[in-house]
Amino acid sequence: MSEDFILNVQNNNVLRITAFGIENIDNAPCLIFVHGFKGFKDWGFGPFIGDYFSKKGFFVLTFNFSHNGVGDNLTDFVELDKFANNTFSLEMDELKELILAYDFGFFGNTSKQGIGLIGHSRGGAISLLVGSESDDVKAVCTWSAVSNFNRYTNRQKDEWREKGFIEILNTRTKQKMRLNVSLLEDIENNKEGSLNIEQAVKNMNKPLLIVQGKNDLAVPVNEAEKLYDTSNKELTELLIIPTAGHTFDVKHPFDGSNNKFDTVLDNTNKFFETNLN
């Protein structure tokens, strides 16, 4: 059983949330799925994984960051002004607020068995940063996670500063989507501190599963290997899925799972069953 929620967070922003497995909330751990760049909770495999993990006995939350660009209809990028003003620090703060809301009973009486984070792509990095410092998070799983946020050339940065924004093409929707210079400033001001993904992984004294597609063109497999090399090997597993792409060959609109994504789900489920009490 699923239910939709609206959580009011800082600066009059809202998080649109779907909770799956409401019947499990008082006797099972919580899994939170964190979407990536140009992602949203109802993209492709989002509802499918909510249903999948709730049937495995977890209480599951999927949500949209307030500035991911998707509006009330949940599937279209209509809030492009918010998308342009998004930052990584804002997403970290909102994930922390969601964790606190769960802890304090916003969704109902919880089991107090701990939280697991599943982060895809950029959401994987946000999950690593928040998971490394949150006592409530007991285990983290990343799917196709980026290993750093500083992914722009000097030429791109110069143009970004000069114009005050850069434009990126959403190849699925054909929209040109702006990123304001505030995102670049966030990267440069916090790259050695709160946005240092490498340091977060080094500090993560809890179970970590890194899942990566071998043929990922958006986030190369060496980024997963870099995360693994940085991690505590006694607590970390690395799973490379042969021939799989960035979304493990799942599409939007969702037209079903496949053998590669089934492997991702099976291993992710086993990881959390083992590491969440």
Residue 90 lies in a domain: yes
Mean pLDDT of all residues belonging to the chain: 97
- At 111 the pLDDT is 84
CATH classification of the domain holding 221: 3.40.50.1820
pLDDT beyond 80 at 168: yes
The mean pLDDT of 225-245, rounded to a whole number, is 98
Residue 93 lies in a domain: yes
For the chain, what percent of residues have pLDDT higher than 90?
98
Residue 183 lies in a domain: no
* Segment (H or E) for 237: strand 236-241
Which residues span the domain enclosing 22?
2-149+195-270
For the chain, what percent of residues have pLDDT higher than 70?
100
Total domains in the chain come to 1
pLDDT tens digits, one per residue of 3-32? 999 999 999 999 999 999 999 999 999 999
The mean pLDDT of 243-256, rounded to a whole number, is 97
Residue 166 lies in a domain: no
- Read off the tokens for 268: 């992710």
pLDDT beyond 90 at 172: yes
- At 256 the pLDDT is 97
pLDDT beyond 80 at 277: no
DSSP string, 109-178: ----S-EEEEEETHHHHHHHHHHHH-TTEEEEEEES--S-S----HHHHHHHHHHSEEEEEETTTTEEEE
pLDDT band of 112, cuts 50, 70, 90: confident
- At 120 the pLDDT is 98
Residue 255 lies in a domain: yes
The mean pLDDT of 36-57, rounded to a whole number, is 98
Residue 188 lies in a domain: no
State how far the Cα of 277 lies from the Cα of 268, in Å rounded to an integer: 15
One-letter amino acid for residue 185 of the chain:
E
Residue 243 lies in a domain: yes
Residue 24 lies in a domain: yes
CA-based nearest residue to 53, from 27, 17, 28? 28
pLDDT beyond 90 at 217: yes
pLDDT beyond 80 at 184: yes
